[in-house]
């Protein structure tokens, strides 16, 4: 990608006021060599991990006892231990602030608004903590929640982990089997759910769904129903027929007055969260993350890579089934106000999130690449219609951010904004590559590797490559490597997931490429990479071309086994009134041929009415590939729209 000028570059004043600039001075005062900027800081951070992570602990003001040893088994992956003698509590770090300022602001479309001060949040956590303790929750016990992204969810998480419990969550749009596939594996002592939710203006009750889930979640002696549609007491009463421990939240906490919160300080390696793989190729993996690793990574990313300061207002459009929810809530440890949203990002109008940004003086707008692309295709110009003067940074993740979406943000949202495409995942609860507020933004590129993350791109023989595509790897340990997989006593599944490809090196499963600016482009998932004629092609390279065409809303590409080789098949969802005729097919192929390469041109193009995606909005190429090849999709419950898979079955266009 030939570029002469970046889309944006920070001013000298902005660089000198940044947390990165301050951190460089901080580590140099502690004995680090002279560091000229982010790239030199990153090189030092991976060369001197002990000094780096020790500095992160102190610079970010981690609450706890650090202990004497800083890193043990520092070359072992897995096996490295960060701060093995330390004692801390995750909730204690997130609840360090008090007062009447906003801690949590909540909106559900145009249906519900709520605001909790820091003191309000402390009071709610205190009452929930007492109630959970009375329900028998202690160190190592699991609490599982099927909840929207609302204040009560965060308070319940904080109450759980303050006691040393382990938190796990999903969103209320999951089907019964999807919930049981996840929570059934981890056997929670308490199950928390809402009484329903709103989406696109519709009231969606879930009492019937809960009636299927609760009797089969036998480990949960207490079931808490949180009011959202104001029928929590009725829903709880109905569930008591199968579980006498079902109770509405208001009744659960009624006996308890707010008081001081107690914190169980434990090892940084103590489990904090259980997150789940998407589960589209089988039962979801239960990925166990530890309190210290999550806290250190998120504090580093919020403060240094997003340049957020106490009092700033952080928004991320996410559900509780996506790791970005876990990333968002740690913002409390940076003393940020969290702006929460539940519902459709296009209801009641397509500008609802920018209304929110303007009204609440949002500092950071976090979202997905698909959302930005949808705004572009709607022809919206939020920069003209809204006061976004408070907005300093916009982040995008979930899938690669297309080059034209970079252009759209700077042309139609804000010309002076730090746009950060970021990438990491559920597996690490953090980012491998991320935004850098002190460096220029180049079109189509992620700015650089995260501090302390020894990220590289390797070929199939395990050799570093530049200027060509390969596997995204991390060659040194980092604090947020999973502690383990649940129900994987000998660690075989864990090892197979990340370390089977290259010994003692994390292989992430992304198809990636370094750029001439020291940034990175993610070309898609390695397991979805296309291999026509033995040449590896990232699906994102095709999407970046075809989805710029006004006729195409979105697309999905797979490799179909054909004639002892693989041929590229492209599925397109077309705009209203558009038909896939011979002229459009030629136009699509020409666009891909000139914008990518002749090898990227699909052998077949098929129009479809819908594209299957996971609950977090990611298109699922592997499930479509399985359907096309007549293989069973093992876990349709992981999909937001599983019925869409039927559109890909036995297609006559793919039989000749």
557-582 tens-digit pLDDT: 998 988 777 899 999 999 999 999 99
Answer yes or no: is pLDDT of 460 > 70.
yes
**Ramachandran angles phi, psi of 182, nearest 5°:** -90, -65
Answer yes or no: is pLDDT of 141 > 80.
yes
Question: Averaged over 502-514, what is the pLDDT?
Answer: 94
For tokens 């740690």, name the residue: 330
Question: Averaged over 350-366, what is the pLDDT?
Answer: 98
Question: Averaged over 611-630, what is the pLDDT?
Answer: 88
| Terminal C-alpha separation, the chain | 36
Chain center to CA of 393: 17
Question: Averaged over 645-656, what is the pLDDT?
Answer: 90
Q: What is the pLDDT of residue 440?
A: 98
Answer yes or no: is pLDDT of 1 > 80.
no
Q: What is the pLDDT of residue 175?
A: 87
Alpha helices (runs of H) in 301-368, residue ranges in sequence order: 323-329, 352-359
Question: Averaged over 456-469, what is the pLDDT?
Answer: 94
Distance CA 131, CA 575 (A): 52
Q: Which of 480-489, 586-595, 629-638 has the lowest mean pLDDT?
A: 629-638
Alpha helices (runs of H) in 499-560, residue ranges in sequence order: 539-546
Q: Which of 248-262, 296-310, 411-425, 589-603 has the lowest mean pLDDT?
A: 589-603
Q: What is the pLDDT of residue 279?
A: 61
Q: What is the DSSP letter of 600?
A: G
Residue among 16, 13, 20 nearest 420 (CA):
20
Q: What is the DSSP letter of 187?
A: -
Q: How is the beta sheet containing 520-525 ordered, strand by strand?
A: 455-458, 470-474, 506-514, 520-525
- Reported as a single tens digit per residue, the pLDDT across 385-402 is 999 999 999 999 988 898
Q: What is the pLDDT of residue 498?
A: 95
Answer yes or no: is pLDDT of 475 > 90.
yes
Tokens of 421: 């495409």
Question: Averaged over 144-165, what is the pLDDT?
Answer: 98
Rounded (to 5) percent helix, strand, coil in the chain: 35, 25, 40
More confident residue, 86 or 616: 86
Residue among 123, 119, 126 nearest 100 (CA):
119
CA atoms within 13 A on the CB side of 381: 5
Task: DSSP for 136-170, please give it.
Answer: T--TT-EEEEE--SSHHHHHHHHHHHHTT-EEEEE
Q: What is the pLDDT of residue 616?
A: 75
Residue 615 — very low, low, confident or very high, per pLDDT cuts 50/70/90?
Answer: confident
Residue 282 — very low, low, confident or very high, per pLDDT cuts 50/70/90?
Answer: low
Answer yes or no: is pLDDT of 505 > 90.
yes
Q: What is the DSSP letter of 266?
A: B
**Ramachandran angles phi, psi of 368, nearest 5°:** -110, 160
Distance CA 75, CA 558 (A): 38
Give the DSSP H or E segment for 236.
helix 232-239
More confident residue, 42 or 539: 42
Q: Are 382 and 602 in contact (CB under 8 A)?
A: no
Q: What is the pLDDT of residue 500?
A: 93
For tokens 């943000």, name the residue: 409
Q: What is the pLDDT of residue 281?
A: 58
- By DSSP bridging, strand 506-514 and strand 470-474 are antiparallel
Q: What is the pLDDT of residue 496?
A: 93
Distance CA 628, CA 626 (A): 6
Q: Which of 183-192, 472-481, 519-528, 641-650 has the lowest mean pLDDT?
A: 519-528
Residue 280 — very low, low, confident or very high, per pLDDT cuts 50/70/90?
Answer: low
Max avg pLDDT among 2-11, 95-104, 643-652: 95-104
Question: Averaged over 62-86, what is the pLDDT?
Answer: 96
Residue 471 — very low, low, confident or very high, per pLDDT cuts 50/70/90?
Answer: very high
- By DSSP bridging, strand 190-194 and strand 142-146 are parallel
Query: Counting beta carbons within 10 angstroms of the beta carbon of residue 466, is it exposed (0 to 12), middle (13 to 18) or buried (19 or more)?
Result: exposed
Question: Within 10 Å of residue 416's Cβ, how many Cβ atoms?
Answer: 13
Answer yes or no: is pLDDT of 2 > 70.
no
- Reported as a single tens digit per residue, the pLDDT across 121-135 is 999 999 999 999 999
Query: Counting beta carbons within 10 angstroms of the beta carbon of residue 617, is it exposed (0 to 12), middle (13 to 18) or buried (19 or more)?
Result: middle
CA distances from residue 628 to 1, 558, 562, 625, 633 in whole angstroms, order as listed? 33, 9, 12, 5, 11
Answer yes or no: is pLDDT of 435 > 70.
yes
What percentage of the chain reaches a pLDDT higher than 70?
A: 99
Question: Could you tell me the domains of the chain?
Answer: 12-86+268-522 (3.40.50.12780), 102-253 (3.40.50.980), 529-654 (3.30.300.30)
Using alpha carbons only, what angle is made at residue 601 by residues 597 and 604, rounded to the nearest 5 degrees?
175
Rg of the chain's alpha carbons, rounded to an integer?
Answer: 24
Q: What is the pLDDT of residue 534?
A: 66
Q: What is the pLDDT of residue 345?
A: 95
Question: Averaged over 538-547, what is the pLDDT?
Answer: 87
Question: Averaged over 211-240, what is the pLDDT?
Answer: 97
Answer yes or no: is pLDDT of 277 > 90.
no
- Reported as a single tens digit per residue, the pLDDT across 172-183 is 998 888 899 999
Residue 528 — very low, low, confident or very high, per pLDDT cuts 50/70/90?
Answer: confident
Burial 140-149 (b: 16+ CB within 10 A, else e): ebbbbbbbbb
Answer yes or no: is pLDDT of 158 > 60.
yes
Chain center to CA of 201: 25
Q: List, in order, residues 6 or more apart from 409 with CB less than 8 Å away.
A: 372, 394, 417, 419
What percentage of the chain reaches a pLDDT higher than 90?
A: 85
Residue 609 — very low, low, confident or very high, per pLDDT cuts 50/70/90?
Answer: very high
Mean pLDDT across the chain: 94
């Amino acid at each position: 990608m030939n570029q002469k000028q970046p889309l944006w570059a920070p001013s000298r004043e902005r660089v000198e006021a940044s947390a990165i600039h301050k951190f460089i001075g901080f580590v140099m005062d502690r004995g680090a060599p002279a560091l000229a900027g982010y790239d030199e800081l990153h090189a030092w951070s991976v060369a001197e991990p002990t000094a780096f992570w020790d500095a992160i602990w102190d610079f970010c003001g981690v609450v706890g006892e650090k202990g004497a040893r800083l890193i043990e088994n520092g070359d072992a992956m897995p096996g490295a231990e960060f701060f093995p003698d330390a004692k801390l509590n995750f909730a204690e770090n997130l609840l360090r602030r008090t007062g009447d300022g906003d801690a949590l602001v909540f909106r559900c479309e145009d249906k519900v608004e709520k605001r909790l001060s820091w003191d309000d949040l402390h009071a709610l956590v205190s009452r929930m903590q007492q109630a959970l303790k009375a329900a028998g929750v202690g160190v190592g016990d699991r609490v599982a929640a099927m909840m929207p992204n609302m204040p009560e969810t965060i308070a319940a998480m904080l109450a759980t982990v303050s006691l040393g419990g382990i938190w796990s969550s999903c969103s209320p749009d999951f089907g019964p089997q999807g919930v049981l596939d996840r929570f059934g594996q981890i056997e929670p002592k308490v199950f928390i759910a809402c009484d329903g939710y709103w989406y696109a203006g519709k009231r969606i009750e879930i009492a019937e769904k809960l009636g299927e889930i609760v009797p089969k979640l036998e480990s949960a002696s207490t079931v808490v129903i949180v009011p959202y549609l104001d029928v929590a007491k009725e829903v709880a009463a109905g569930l008591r027929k199968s579980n006498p421990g079902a109770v509405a939240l208001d009744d659960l906490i009624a006996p308890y007055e707010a008081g001081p919160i107690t914190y169980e300080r434990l090892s940084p390696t103590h489990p904090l969260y259980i997150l789940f793989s998407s589960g589209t190729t089988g039962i979801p993996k239960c990925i166990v993350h530890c309190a210290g690793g999550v806290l250190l990574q998120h504090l580093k990313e919020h403060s240094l890579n997003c340049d957020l300061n106490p009092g700033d207002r952080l928004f991320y459009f996410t559900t509780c089934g996506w790791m970005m929810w876990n990333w968002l809530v740690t913002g409390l440890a940076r003393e940020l106000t969290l702006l929460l949203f539940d519902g459709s990002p296009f209801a009641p109008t397509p500008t609802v999130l920018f209304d929110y940004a303007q009204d609440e003086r949002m500092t950071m707008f976090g979202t997905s690449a698909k959302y930005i692309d949808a705004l572009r295709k709607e022809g919206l110009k939020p920069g003209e219609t809204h006061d976004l003067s408070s907005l300093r940074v916009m982040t995008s993740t979930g899938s690669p951010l297309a080059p034209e979406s970079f252009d759209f943000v700077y042309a139609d949202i804000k010309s002076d904004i730090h746009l950060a495409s970021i990438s990491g995942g559920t597996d690490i609860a953090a980012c491998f590559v991320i935004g850098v507020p002190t460096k220029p933004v180049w079109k189509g590129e992620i700015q650089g590797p995260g501090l302390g993350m020894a990220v590289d791109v390797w070929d199939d023989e395990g050799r570093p490559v530049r200027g060509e595509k390969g596997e995204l790897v991390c060659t040194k340990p980092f604090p947020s490597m999973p502690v383990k997989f649940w129900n994987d006593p000998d660690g075989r599944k864990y090892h197979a997931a990340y370390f089977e490809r290259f010994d003692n090196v994390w292989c992430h499963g992304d198809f990636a490429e370094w750029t001439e600016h020291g940034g990175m482009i993610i070309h898609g998932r390695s397991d979805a990479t296309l291999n026509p004629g033995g040449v590896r092609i990232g699906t994102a390279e095709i999407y970046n071309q075809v989805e710029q065409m006004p006729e195409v809303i979105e697309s999905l590409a797979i490799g179909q086994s054909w004639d002892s080789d693989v041929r590229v098949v492209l599925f397109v969802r077309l705009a209203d009134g558009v038909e896939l005729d011979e002229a459009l097919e030629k136009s699509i192929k020409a666009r891909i041929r000139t914008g990518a390469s002749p090898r990227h041109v699909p052998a077949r193009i098929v129009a479809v009415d819908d594209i299957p995606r996971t609950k977090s909005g990611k298109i699922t190429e592997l499930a479509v590939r399985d359907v096309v090849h007549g293989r069973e999709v093992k876990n349709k419950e992981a999909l937001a729209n599983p019925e869409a898979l039927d559109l890909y079955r036995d297609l006559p266009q793919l039989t000749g």
